[in-house]
Structure 1
Amino acid sequence: MERLQSRHLIDTADSDEVYFVRLGTIQRHPRVIPADVRDSLLKYFKHKLFFAFGWDVFVGYLGSNSKPELFVTNNQVEYFLSEVERRGGVKIDGIDDASKVDPMMIRGLKHIVKTTDVVQFHEKTSKEGLRYDSSPRVLWTQEQRARKKEIEAAKKAEKRESAREHALEMERLVKQSIEDRKMVFIAVDIEVYELNHKCVTEIGLAILDLRKGNTKDAKPVSRHLRVKEYMHLKNGRFVEDASEKFEFGKSEILTLKECANEVKTVFEENGDKAIFVGHDGANDVRYLRQIGADLPEDLLMVDTLTLWKITHGEDGPSTLGRLLMEYDISSWNLHNAGNDAYYTVQALMAMYGKEANPE
């Protein structure tokens, strides 16, 4: 689609009469274009091509209005309309006198440099139903911008500190649980169909009962549940398919409802002794809710990715496979939910179970 190109910062002194026009008025100008040619010209007034023209835009307050508006000079408007006329081969009426704005009527007139600021401002102030921004960033003083940066930096620092405190509390829970041997680590991993994440295809469960004193080998009891309704869906384009390669027992084929009930039963049986374990497990929790396997609201939860970041920073391994490599844990057929759950427990014990000796 052919776009028009403006002449940037056209000198208003070249015009006999200098006035401004609201940017929104120009974009609505097709209302006065003859209907028989309107469709062929409309593309130049639509969002993408209209802003691609490269308007030199000003922002200011008209008269006593408290809402800022966007304006362009008359010579830009005339040039834009003449280009549309030339491309369309049809005469277009100019801007009517009622739409012309005397520069003396505009307070606080300021030039906007960035096209993105123009688009964002226009979107925020021109659509019906959106709250009008009476103090857009393009009108801020240097002091206001500096203050905003300080506030944002303080919020980010507070958020980081809160996340760190949460992670440290998580770490204390893991260490205390391993020491006391009164809790049960239950790792959950979910696999979904890569082309439709609403289709949960596999659920992995790995249970390490610390009360049985089996922290030395850190070999959890692992289960692999395959969802009967979606067994025909196979990954492989973006994520490796290992649905038939469970390494720690026999896969169980159940309906989606039965899978959800199995997960709920495991946590209900262990009650307040259960600790949910995941690797970047927020998505797994979301998928469990999606299939109706809601976990208890007061369930204790730990995450191996979060725990890694406590001591190694944000640049640590983002995937379970990389985390296993960090601890020299041999793993086979990842992306099988049962295997991933098993290895998540082993990774956790390698991090904090001093007696753990994974294969």
Structure 2
Amino acid sequence: MKPKKSKKSSSFYGEYTPLPPTSCEPDPVKAQQLLGKTFPELQGLEVGELSEEGMTFVSWDLALQYPQMFIGNRNRPKATPLFEDILHGHIWDFFYIYSPKDLAARPKLFVPTKQFGRFLEFVNATLGIVLTIPEGEPGENFLVRFDTPRPRYLGRCTSRSDFHAFPDRAPPAKDQDLCTGLSPDAIERLLAKLNPNVRSSTRRRNAKDKKQRIAAEQRRESLHLVQRCLGLRPAGGLSGPGDCSPPVDIHGTAAATYTDAVFASIDIEVAEQSHRTILEVGISTFDSRRIVGITPGDAARNWMPFIQSHHLLVYDYRFMRNTKYVRGCPESFNFGYMPMLADLANRVLAILSDCNKPDHDDAAPDDKGQQRPLILIGHGITADLDFLANINVEPAKIKGFARCIDTQDMHRSWHSLPNSRSLGTVLNDLDLAHSNLHNAGNDAAYTLQAMLALAVCARLSELDEEKST
């Protein structure tokens, strides 16, 4: 592998080459040579003298935080004492700059990047480890350049006593420290350089905000997809573009939009003390072909009779009950036949593979034998997918599988909620009667009811909001 080319800054005073890896053997001779480095180019500067243009700096506060931020647990105990004694025997040329937002506060202290790089080399030679200025975005805080205003020289320090006298030696703030004439953006950039921790936390916060926006958009897209498949929103395909035709009137007759999707909800109950022990599997299916021309009614109640439900009870564990965290009720299936079986994986695959077959419904259009789109629904579906994986069931390998939808996401998108709600809470919010939750068959059926009701109620809310604006 070819070594990476090092990068240098253009100024003589600010030039810094990122450290190449050192050997893993201590080098006391080199360590002594580094202690004797005097930086003659910085000698003779007067207090208050402007730093050279293009010079690169690192905040002294950040230099002291280096062990906690950039040294792994293995090397940190060895390196920490050297950082605690960072002022002893090493030459440091301190520069200062006032914050334009608080001139009464003490100025921020900076040291040349080249001196901090020298110190890292000393630590490496002393301990036989490899410390460098970090690459990429974190390293930018160690290579800070100032335009206007530039840091001013404070003095040279070789001991802790010298350092403690520095804050009183800084000249008072002057008019130029107010940064008069700088744009607000330029001042914000300066403040970010003066407060590298704030700069880093701002980046982290921006990254977190971006991640949250993307997640919210994905939840909204899931809700819209279900609405398209049910004819509640102009069709755009399973991942089609935004709406471009008039909104569907869900108060009248059901839309004739034909998406041909089949929904299958799944819920799995496992033993509390062993999550690899599956006690029950509930599967409910809903065929969108059945509702063409049928008005959804209040909270989609007219569509709910078309849900078909299955409750699979694992025969070997039929007497087990969860009682510690939830109260299980495997015998209390509300929706019909409950087979007991041992061949669980094959039965699950058979139900999911059969519900979207092209010949499943004689009223189907000419689909030329193609498997219909299968959308898997769950309330907190990630956990159920993990449980399925434990019995080697992979929905993505089922013919026609399109994607998974989480009713928690649909509910959060409808109400713009920061956190997910339980299935019981969602059903109460939708005013849907329910009983005997934590029975896998019941939960799968109620999850599919919640999906239909959420699609209708959220679309109604959207249309009402559009009318009021």
Q: Same fold (TM over 0.5)?
A: yes
Partners of 1:238 and 1:159 lie apart in 2 by: 32
C-alpha distance in 1 between matches for 2:322 and 2:394: 26
2:223 pairs with 1:171? yes
Q: 2:373 touches 2:402 (CA, 8 Å); kept in 1?
A: no
| Map of 2:261 onto structure 1 | 183
Tell me which residue corresponds to 1:225: 312
SS at match of 2:230: helix
For residue 155 of structure 1, what is the aligned residue in structure 2? 207
Residue pair 1:60, 1:106 contacting (<8 A) in 2 also = no
324, 340, 346: which one pairs with 1:261?
A: 346
Cα 1:101/1:315, change in 2 over 3 Å:
closer
CA contact (8 A) 1:60 1:107 kept: no
Check if 1:240 corresponds to 2:338. Answer: no
Q: Deviations over 1:108-165 (max 9, x none)?
A: 9xxxxxxxxxxxxxxxxxxxxx99686699x988532122112212211221121122
- Quickly say closer, same or farther: Cα 1:134–1:184, change in 2 above 3 A: same
Task: Give the Å deviation of 1:102.
Answer: 9.5
Unpaired runs of at least 5, structure 1:
1-57, 62-66, 75-99, 109-129, 355-359
Q: Sequence identity of aligned pairs in percent?
A: 27
Deviations 1:44-87 (A, max 9, x none): xxxxxxxxxxxxxx8789xxxxx87212999xxxxxxxxxxxxx
Residue 332, structure 1, aligned to residue 332, structure 2: no
**Residues of 1 paired with 2:88 and 2:82: CA distance?**
11
> 1:221 and 1:311 mapped to 2: Cα distance?
26
Q: C-alpha offsets along residues 227-281 of structure 1, whole Å, 9 cap, x if unaligned?
A: 22333432111111111111111322112xx222222223323144211111111
**Which residue of the partner structure matches residue 82 of structure 1?**
none
Helix, strand or coil for the counterpart of 2:450?
helix
| Distance 1:104-1:186 versus aligned 2 partners, 3 A rule | same
Write the letter of the residue equivalent to 1:70: T
Query: In 2, Cα distance between the equivalents of 1:232 and 1:105?
Result: 74
Measured against aligned partners, the alpha-carbon deviations of 1:164-205 in whole angstroms (never above 9, x if no partner) come to 221222122111111135211110001111111111111000
TM-score normalised to the size of structure 2? 0.47
1:1-359 superposed matches below 5 A: 69-71=79-81, 103-104=88-89, 143-179=195-231, 180-181=257-258, 182-213=260-291, 216-219=302-305, 220-255=307-342, 258-269=343-354, 270=356, 271-296=371-396, 299-315=402-418, 318-353=421-456
- In the superposition, relative to structure 1, how do residues 218 and 107 fare at CA in structure 2: closer, same or farther (>3 Å)? farther
Q: Are the equivalent residues in 1 in contact too, given 2:262–2:285 (CA < 8 A)? A: yes
Residue aligned with 1:277, SS = strand
Native 8 Å contact 2:379 2:423 kept in 1: yes
Per-residue deviation, 1:207: 0.7
Aligned residue number for residue 83 of structure 1: none
* CA distance in 1 between partners of 2:304 and 2:402 (Å): 22
Query: Is the Cα–Cα contact under 8 Å of residues 423 and 447 in structure 2 kept in the other structure?
Result: yes
Is this contact kept in 2: 1:59–1:70, CA < 8 A? no
Change (3 A) 1:259 1:146: same
Letter of the 1:195 partner, please give it: Q
Q: Larger relative CO (CA 8 A, sep 6+): 1 or 2? A: 1
What is the RMSD of the two structures over their aligned residues, measured on CA atoms?
3.5
Q: TM-score, normalised by structure 1?
A: 0.60
Could you tell me how far apart the structure 2 residues matched to 1:175 and 1:131 are? 57
Do the aligned partners of 1:246 and 1:336 also contact (CA within 8 Å) in 2?
yes
Contact 1:276 1:302 in 2 (8 A): yes
Could you list the runs of 5+ residues in structure 2 that have no partner in the other structure? Answer: 1-63, 68-74, 94-128, 143-192, 232-256, 297-301, 357-370, 458-469
Give, in angstroms, the shift of residue 317 of structure 1.
Answer: 5.7
When residues 304 and 102 of structure 1 are mapped into structure 2, their CA distance, relative to the original with a 3 A threshold, is closer
Equivalent residue pairs, number: 245
Give the equivalent residue in structure 2 for 1:54: none
CA contact (8 A) 1:264 1:293 kept: yes
Larger Rg: 2
More helix by share: 1
Greater percentage in strand: 1
